[in-house]
Amino acid sequence: MLKSGECSVCKKQIITPVCILCLTDEIESWVDNNKVSLVKEYRIYARDVMEKIRPKQILKCSVCRSNATCNICPVCFAEKIFNWLAKKDKKLATNFAKDFKKNLKQIQPGRQLFA
Ligand SMILES: [Zn+2]
Ligand SMILES: [Zn+2]
What are 42-89's pLDDT values in tens digits?
999 999 998 888 778 899 999 999 999 888 999 899 999 999 999 999
* Closest ligand to the CA of 70: 2
pLDDT at 2 over 60: no
Q: Which pLDDT value is given to residue 28? A: 96
* Ligand showing the shortest atom-to-Cα distance for residue 17: 2
What average pLDDT does this structure show over 2-29?
Answer: 89
- The ligand with the least distance to the CA atom of 19 is 2
Q: What local confidence, expressed as pLDDT, does residue 114 receive?
A: 64
| CA 35 – CA 10 distance, rounded (Å) | 29
Task: For residue 72, report the distance from its CA to the centre of ligand 2, in Å.
Answer: 12
Q: Ligand 2 centroid to 22 CA: how many Å?
A: 4
